[in-house]
Structure 1
Amino acid sequence: MSQHITRRQWLGGAAAAVASIAVVPRHVLGGAGHTAPSDKPALAGIGVGGVGFPQLRACEGAGFQIVALCDVDDVYAKKAYDQWPQARRFRDYREMYEAIDANIDAVYCGTPDHTHAVIVLPALGRKKHVCCVKPITRTIRECRTLVRAAREAGVATTDTSSPNTSEAACRTCELIWAGAIGSVRELHMWSDRPWWPQGMARPAGEDPVPETLDWDLWIGPAAMRPFKKVWPEGHLALEQVEPRYYDSVYHPWNFRGWWDFGTGSLGDMGCHHANTPFRALKLKYPVSVSAVSSKVLAETAPLASIVTYEFPAREGMPSVRVVWYDGGLKPLSPKPGLPLPDSGEMYIGDEGFMLGPKVFPEERARKFADAPRTLPRRPGTWKEWFDACRGGEPAGTHFPTAGLLAEFVLLGNIALRTGKTLQWDGPAGRFTNDDAANQLLHDEYREGWSLEG
């Protein structure tokens, strides 16, 4: 019978008919939401010119086969087109979904933050496995919509935050849970970003759009902005970042600093830094968030900021204050003569502190050197997602976890934009003390776009 069963039938619902003859577990045969273990999941990449290129190569190395590539910029995507000449090419992801829906099992999204939701939601609606670069959305309403859709679809999802399942991440969790530094009262996280322009006004004027770039599709659901090729000579922003990132005002790299398209330094790096701490400290929703920063302009994130979150007591752990720093700012070192790295995470407890998995003072480190190793070490983002697509356990940053990380950074950005101490009702998804802040939970899409699958 197998010679009459196509590959797509094997991966689709027709596998159930085979099961009626030979009773085999569904995760072995495949079926809706389950790729057959003997097969390589067929992967479509959307946004393949920037970080998407190395990440698609990592997906291929994990076991996926790249069958389709979609990008709005033919020049920027050329290296991916050259790498996978057999893959079908598209500019519009919507046309791709319609054209080859039956031929793909999974979707990778590596586009700027403002288009994540509109790309990922229809993939989930088609029951495709999904990997999306962090943060999974640009707004909190988008985030909750995607997490809900992922649960309903029952597919394998992940984002690209630094894994919380590595040796260092697992050991951090084990040491904290063993009491190596006592009860943790504070968590400090910091990054040397931004490496792109922030804290500036929008430059005037516009330039012709290159024929190789679909600017309307790049803008997507955001408000239309004119294409601007270069920064004005002597612009302050040019002094803040390395020259290779000056390609244009928004595309391909500089979108990160604009509220229209990106989520600033906190959105870019916060999910990486917070993933292990969220697991180690069993964090979910903060009850308040506040921020201070360099000058905040209406349209861009600041050059440097400090964002403070208060989390309530949970699961045998006391309330904890979480502080984020960027733009070269960092906390004071708790040990004289101990320099802090340019970026990192530091846990402050009643009995000591930790820099990542390294325990201080030394006597506490020696005492807990043999703390039980209770967590399985897993292979990281790409292989975890691949295994989940084939019926294995969810990836360490599947969307329910990735959603909490995204909300964490997005709440901080709202605090930066309002300059207020905001009280957050996590289960209800709203601020209880500021209606204006609630308006920033989502931005209206421009005509022709909607948050629907």
Structure 2
Amino acid sequence: MKKNSESKAGTSRRDFIKAGTAAAAGFMVVPRHVLGGAGFVAPSDKLVIAGIGVGGKGESDLKSFHDSGKAEIAYLCDVDDRRAAGSVQRFPKAKYYKDFREMLDKEHKHIDAVSVSGPDHNHAIHALPAMQLGKHVYVQKPLTHDVYEARVLTEAAKKYKVVTQMGNQGASGDGVRIMREWFDAGLIGDVHTIYTWTDRPVWPQGIQWPAQKAEVPKELDWDLWLGTAPYKDYVDKLVPFNWRGWWDYGTGALGDMGCHIMEAPFSILGLQYVKDVQASVGTVYVDEFKRGYFPESCPPSSYAVLTFPKTDKTPGDVKIHWMDGGIQPERPEELGPNEVFGDGGNGILFVGTKGKMMAGCYAENPRLLPTSLTEQHKLPVKYERVPGGASGHYAQWVEACIAGHGKKEVSSPFSIAGPLTEALLMANLAIRGSDLRIDNRYPGRNLKLIWDNQNMKVVNFDEVNQFVKREYRQGWELPTV
């Protein structure tokens, strides 16, 4: 396939390399089409992919790309040899690295695209240098850890003209398209309120950071795993999954599931940036008299309300209610007492002026309410379906990368995924603000945070702005776009 131009990338890339380790010493980027001369055609008609974070979800992502029949998994990178073992076995011809900077330094001329699937706090630092090298990127959800990073990657996708996709595969499913057709047909009228919820977390939250450090497993490079996060001693059971409940690394239940559940409201109503957000959080008591205060950990449950300004599809503002930790909204009257609400643990409920519709996670199993109406309204297909539905999310990106920037649509490009992620992280600002203790008080509670979108700051509670753009560990600063 032809390569995207890698011009304009040299300076930013050198800045990043200078801030990194000696293993990733600076280099001048030379576009592959320049190396091959005019009319250069890649030696393979397959997309050459490098994976960063190749265990767990990273492994399944790479398998899905490979199963498209149009991708070659040529490079693997993971800080933990234990987690990487499955991908190494599955793709024995792929070259293996531990440091993504070394991989990009040595192999960038041979890579077409990069798949990023690691802890949230390193998503941006893994994706942006690849984009600056002209590589297409697929980044797992949530797109980033911080609001600032989401804006940066959204802008980078425009500047470097690469094909982007976030790993919220429900965006390619039939469910969201069916609900969009119902909405467009006026079946539920104008939408003003949406309820979204999840039964996550299924990992520890609302707990104290372990006092006892543990021995770092010999297969794990702890410094590389920490990446952008502040240095702390390794503790047992943090990896590979329980990091999600700690603010230094994860984004809680909202970051984990919100991109799957809130995608449908964004797609259907054309939502963009939040104008205000408020939240309340669950509390933990260490005994019957003393309330626990664990600011490093996400709360055990939370409830946030986000307000979005009107769009060309809504007559006024739209409010999205988010609930996690097992909290659910009141069951709608139109739903039978024994009918499943959402999918049981997760769900989306649209409330319109004429009716309601709901679905489960990934917008699966969409239904009009009462559910008997669903079979009565079989509408013509208005929005083209993605072959394979949600599972086709991967092949869709592969084919768009091969076609080249701007040639084929994808379901969750950063132009959509960026604002969606920002909205979720804005809700996290309110959640963290509600749990922020200053002089033994909680001044952020019971506040509605007003968001200045242009300047990317909360205007009425400055203390929470420290979480819009965090301090990166020295040597791990995000490159400038």
Q: Which residue of 1 aligns with 2:142?
A: 135
Change (3 A) 1:64 1:366: closer
1:218 maps to 2:225: yes
Change (3 A) 1:42 1:363: closer
Q: Which residue of 2 aligns with 1:99?
A: 106
State the SS of the aligned residue for 1:226.
coil
1:444 pairs with one of 451, 454, 471: 471
Give 1:30-429 correspondences, 5 Å limit: 39-62=45-68, 63-229=70-236, 248=237, 250-295=238-283, 297-318=294-315, 319-335=317-333, 337=337, 338-340=339-341, 341-356=344-359, 357-361=366-370, 365=374, 369-379=377-387, 380-391=392-403, 392-419=407-434, 420-429=447-456
Confirm or deny: 8 A CA contact 1:163 1:396 kept in the other structure: no
Equivalent AA in structure 1 for residue 242 of structure 2: N
Give distance in 2, aligned partners of 1:362 and 1:117. 42
Q: Which residue of 2 aligns with 1:235?
A: none
Unaligned runs of 5+ residues in structure 1 are 1-8, 19-28, 230-247
Give distance in 1, aligned partners of 2:92 and 2:206. 41
Q: CA deviation at 1:269?
A: 0.2
Confirm or deny: 8 A CA contact 1:191 1:269 kept in the other structure: yes
Confirm or deny: 8 A CA contact 1:310 1:321 kept in the other structure: yes
Q: CA deviation at 1:15?
A: 6.6
Give distance in 2, aligned partners of 1:10 and 1:445. 30
Change (3 A) 1:325 1:68: same
Q: Which string of whole-angstrom CA distances, capped at 9 and with x for unpartnered residues, describes residues 330-356 of structure 1?
A: 111112514412111110111111012
Unaligned runs of 5+ residues in structure 2 are 1-29, 284-292, 360-365, 435-446
Q: CA deviation at 1:164?
A: 2.4
Q: Which string of whole-angstrom CA distances, capped at 9 and with x for unpartnered residues, describes residues 405-442 of structure 1?
A: 21111111110011232011334322222222222101
User: How many residues align structurally?
Assistant: 410
Equivalent AA in structure 1 for residue 305 of structure 2: T
Q: Which residue of 1 aligns with 2:33?
A: 12
Moved more, 356-365 or 82-91: 356-365
Confirm or deny: 8 A CA contact 1:135 1:405 kept in the other structure: no
Q: TM-score, normalised by structure 2?
A: 0.81
Q: Which string of whole-angstrom CA distances, capped at 9 and with x for unpartnered residues, describes residues 184-229 of structure 1?
A: 1211111111111111110102112122110000001110111112
Moved more, 350-359 or 150-159: 350-359
Confirm or deny: 8 A CA contact 2:172 2:393 kept in the other structure: no
Give distance in 1, aligned partners of 2:96 and 2:166. 24
Change (3 A) 1:428 1:372: farther
Give distance in 1, aligned partners of 2:309 and 2:227. 38
Change (3 A) 1:290 1:65: same
Q: CA deviation at 1:402?
A: 0.9
Q: Which string of whole-angstrom CA distances, capped at 9 and with x for unpartnered residues, describes residues 105-152 of structure 1?
A: 110111100011111111001000100101111011111111111111
State the SS of the aligned residue for 1:207.
coil
Q: TM-score, normalised by structure 1?
A: 0.86
Q: Which residue of 2 aligns with 1:245?
A: none
State the SS of the aligned residue for 1:163.
helix
Percent identity between the aligned chains?
Answer: 37
Q: CA deviation at 1:362?
A: 5.7
Q: Which string of whole-angstrom CA distances, capped at 9 and with x for unpartnered residues, describes residues 223-249 of structure 1?
A: 0111112xxxxxxxxxxxxxxxxxx1x
Change (3 A) 1:393 1:428: farther
Confirm or deny: 8 A CA contact 1:306 1:326 kept in the other structure: yes
Confirm or deny: 8 A CA contact 1:222 1:261 kept in the other structure: yes
State the SS of the aligned residue for 2:122.
helix
Give distance in 2, aligned partners of 1:163 and 1:383. 14
Q: CA deviation at 1:14?
A: 5.8
Change (3 A) 1:409 1:153: same
Moved more, 332-341 or 152-161: 332-341
Give distance in 2, aligned partners of 1:353 and 1:208. 53
